[in-house]
Structures are given as structure tokens and as C-alpha cells.
């Protein structure tokens, strides 16, 4: 597990600027310019950013880009027809255009992943802030609860949560949000604890700032770096897990062109998919793998850029 590391210097903190750790060479660039520089010089991270941007554009402009309707345009006689000029990625078990379904699926799969991570990040930040800032038994109780949640194999926990909430995409992404929440809480908590006793927080307290003000102006901004990295990496997991739940029939339901659901629909249509419908398996999977890979590249790049100790 990547431990949260202290951000060197401070982005928006009141007493920012130079930190105790003296840089080997004098840098005159600002911290964020520096981060950007490091990130951009990482070719894999840049590649990830390009891929994700393309997927995002695909999702936004789906109605204009997709040659067919993802659900209604069924050509039953062309079941599992291979890639052709009319259907670049071939057709699925109901003769629907796979390319169009993947394009529309980007809307569902990526939004669901993003929503799950947003839920986990907001929830985890709140839990982590309270635990780290309050300390004592509040901290102990909250973190024990998080440990218990982490003790479950994540997909298994997600499955049980979905069965409580009921099947469906919204509940599936909530379940994924819940299983991702503990790790976000841990990252925020350790970041909070590491800055809690800093002088600038002490200074805020000395001038009589309220707890809310101390947290929002001094602690939160200085805990951002590890949180951003963790959230990005969690997005990769979220997209995968939402797709996995849909694949198990617990998330998006047919005829939704969600990528995991596309795979399960093809798989459940019988053994024929393995012989005639191979493209119906391969392409939706590539969409999932490629988007997750891109997000992972970005996350790794951000981690290297935000953590000066990992620079090469």
C-alpha cells in the first residue's frame, strides 16, 4: 500500500514556501509548476491523460459519434457478425453494433466509476479528517470500523452490499464507493496527523481560529497531494469493480451497454460466443482495460510528481 507522504512545501497553506527538507539544488519554479513539469515529462502518464481525454470526449459526444443506436438497432439475423465496413467492431449476440455500444458504454462505465470514487473520496475525507483531527477514542472507533471493512474481500463485500440495497447500477456504484472508502479515510487520516502538529496549524490555533477554519484552511490543503493520488488510483479500481459487478449481473442490467454488462450478455448467450462471437468478448474488455490502464498511468505519474522523494 502506498503510504501517504507529507507534501513538501504547501500549496495554499498560510505559512507556505520553503520546508525544512533542503533541496539539493535551488529551484525557482513554484511547486505546482514543478509538479506539472514532472508529470508532463512522464510519457506513460501523458499517454494515460490522452487516452482518458479521448474516452471522455467519446462519452460526451456519443450520440454524434456512434453510427447506430446502442440498444434499439438490433439485427437479429446478423448475430455475432464479424467486423465489417458497416460495423467496424462487429456485432453482438443480438446483432447490435459493438462500436456504438462501447461508445455509449463509456458514458455509463466511466461515470459510474467517477461517482463511486467521488462518494468514497468525500466520505473518506470526512471520516479521515474527523479521526485524524479529533484523535482519542473517536479516532480509535472510526478506524476500527474502517479496519473491519478492510477485512472483507472487497468484491464479496460489494456483493453483499448490493444484495442489501438491491441490484442495479446505482447501488453497485454505491457498494464500490463503500468498499473504497476505508482506504481514502486512512490516507486522509495519516496526512492530517502528519500536519496536525505543524507550526502553521499551531499559529492558526494561537490566533483563535475555529476548528472548522483550521481544518479547511490549514489541514485540508496540506493533505491534498496524497488524497489526489489515492483517488486517481481508486478510480481505476472503481471502474474495474463496477464492471465486475455488472458482469456478475448485480450492476447495470441488459440491455444497458455498460462494458461489464456487454461482456456478461455475450458470455451468457451460450458457448457460441467463444467460436463465432470472439469480437463481442474482446472489444468491450479492451475498452475496460484501456481506460483502467490509462487511469493507472495517470495515478502513477501523479504520485511521482507529487512526491519529491520518488523522483528519478
Partner 1 sequence: MLLGVSVVVFAMVRAIPGDPAQILLGQAATPDQVADVRARLGLDQPLITQYLLFIRGALTGDLGDSLVVGQPVTTVLLERFPATLELTLAALLFAIAVGVPVGVIAAVRQYSLLDKITSVVALTGVSMPIFWLALVLVVVFTVRLDWLPFPGRVGGDVAFTSYTGLYLLDTLITLNFAAFWDVLRHLILPAVALGTIPMAVITRMTRSSMLEVMNEDYVRTARAKGVVPRRVVFRHALRNAMLPTITVIGLQFGLLMGGAILTETIFGWPGVGQIALESVNRRDYAMIQGVVLYGATFFVLVNLLVDVLYAVLDPRVRY
Is 155 near partner 1 (CB under 8 A)?
yes
Inter-residue long-range contacts of 92-95, CB under 8 Å, 24+ positions, other chains counted: 92/262, 92/265, 92/266, 92/277, 92/280, 93/265, 93/266, 93/269, 93/273, 93/277, 93/280, 94/255
Does residue 289 interact with partner 1 by CB under 8 A? Answer: yes
38/30 Cα distance (integer angstroms): 12
DSSP letter, residue 252? S
User: How far from chain centre, in Å, is Cα 67?
Assistant: 29
By CB under 8 A, residue 202 contacts partner 1: no
Q: Whose Cβ is closer to partner 1: residue 47's or residue 75's?
A: 47
Site for partner 1 contains 153 (CB under 8 A): yes
Segment lying near partner 1 (by CB under 8 A), choices 9-17, 89-97, 131-139, 237-245: 237-245
**Which of 18, 25, 28, 275 contacts partner 1 by CB under 8 A?**
275
Among residues 20, 22, 85, 164, the one that binds partner 1 under rule CB under 8 A: 164
DSSP state at residue 299: H
Distance CA(284)–CA(263), nearest Å, equals 7
Query: In whole angstroms, how close is the CB of 296 to partner 1 at the nearest point?
Result: 5
How many residues touch partner 1 under the rule CB under 8 A: the total is 47
Among 13, 260, 301, 308, binds partner 1 (CB under 8 A): 260
Given 59, 180, 244, 298, the residue binding partner 1 (CB under 8 A): 244
Listed residue (275, 300, 254, 305) closest to 80, CA to CA:
275
The C-alpha atoms of residue 28 and residue 38 are separated, in whole angstroms, by 15
> Which CB, 169 or 240, lies closer to partner 1?
240
By CB atoms closer than 10 A (0-12, 13-18, 19+), residue 114 is: middle
By the rule CB under 8 A, 297 interacts with partner 1: yes
Give the three cell numbers for residue 147: 479496519
Which positions touch partner 1 (CB under 8 A)? 1, 44, 144-145, 147-149, 151-157, 159-164, 166, 236, 240, 243-244, 247-250, 260, 263, 267, 274-275, 278, 281-282, 284-285, 288-289, 292-293, 295-297, 300
Amino acid at each position: 500500500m502506498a503510504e501517504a507522504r507529507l507534501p513538501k512545501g504547501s500549496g495554499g497553506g498560510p505559512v507556505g514556501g520553503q520546508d525544512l527538507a533542503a533541496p539539493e539544488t535551488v529551484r525557482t519554479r513554484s511547486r505546482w509548476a514543478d509538479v506539472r513539469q514532472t508529470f508532463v515529462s512522464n510519457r506513460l502518464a501523458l499517454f494515460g491523460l490522452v487516452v482518458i481525454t479521448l474516452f471522455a470526449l467519446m462519452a460526451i459526444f456519443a450520440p454524434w459519434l456512434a453510427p447506430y443506436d446502442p440498444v434499439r438497432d438490433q439485427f437479429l439475423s446478423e448475430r455475432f457478425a464479424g467486423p465489417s465496413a458497416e460495423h467496424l467492431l462487429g456485432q453482438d449476440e443480438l446483432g447490435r453494433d459493438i462500436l456504438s455500444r462501447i461508445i455509449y458504454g463509456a458514458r455509463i462505465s466511466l461515470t459510474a466509476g467517477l461517482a463511486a470514487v467521488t462518494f468514497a473520496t468525500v466520505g473518506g475525507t470526512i471520516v479521515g479528517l474527523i479521526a485524524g483531527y479529533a484523535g482519542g477514542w473517536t479516532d480509535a472507533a472510526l478506524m476500527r470500523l474502517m479496519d473491519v471493512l478492510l477485512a472483507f474481500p472487497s468484491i464479496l463485500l460489494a456483493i453483499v452490499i448490493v444484495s442489501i440495497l438491491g441490484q442495479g447500477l446505482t447501488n453497485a456504484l454505491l457498494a464500490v464507493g463503500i468498499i473504497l472508502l476505508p482506504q481514502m479515510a486512512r490516507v486522509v487520516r495519516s496526512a492530517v496527523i502528519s500536519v496536525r502538529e505543524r507550526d502553521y496549524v499551531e499559529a492558526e490555533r494561537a490566533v483563535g481560529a475555529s476548528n472548522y477554519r483550521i481544518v479547511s484552511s490549514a489541514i485540508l490543503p496540506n493533505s491534498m497531494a496524497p488524497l489526489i493520488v489515492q483517488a486517481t488510483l481508486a478510480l481505476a479500481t472503481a471502474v474495474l469493480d463496477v464492471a465486475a459487478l455488472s458482469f456478475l449481473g448485480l450492476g447495470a442490467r441488459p440491455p444497458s451497454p455498460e462494458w461489464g454488462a456487454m461482456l456478461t450478455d455475450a458470455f451468457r448467450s451460450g458457448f457460441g460466443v467463444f467460436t463465432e462471437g470472439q469480437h463481442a468478448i474482446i472489444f468491450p474488455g479492451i475498452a475496460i482495460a484501456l481506460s483502467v490502464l490509462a487511469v493507472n498511468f495517470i495515478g502513477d505519474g501523479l504520485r511521482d510528481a507529487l512526491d519529491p522523494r520518488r523522483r528519478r
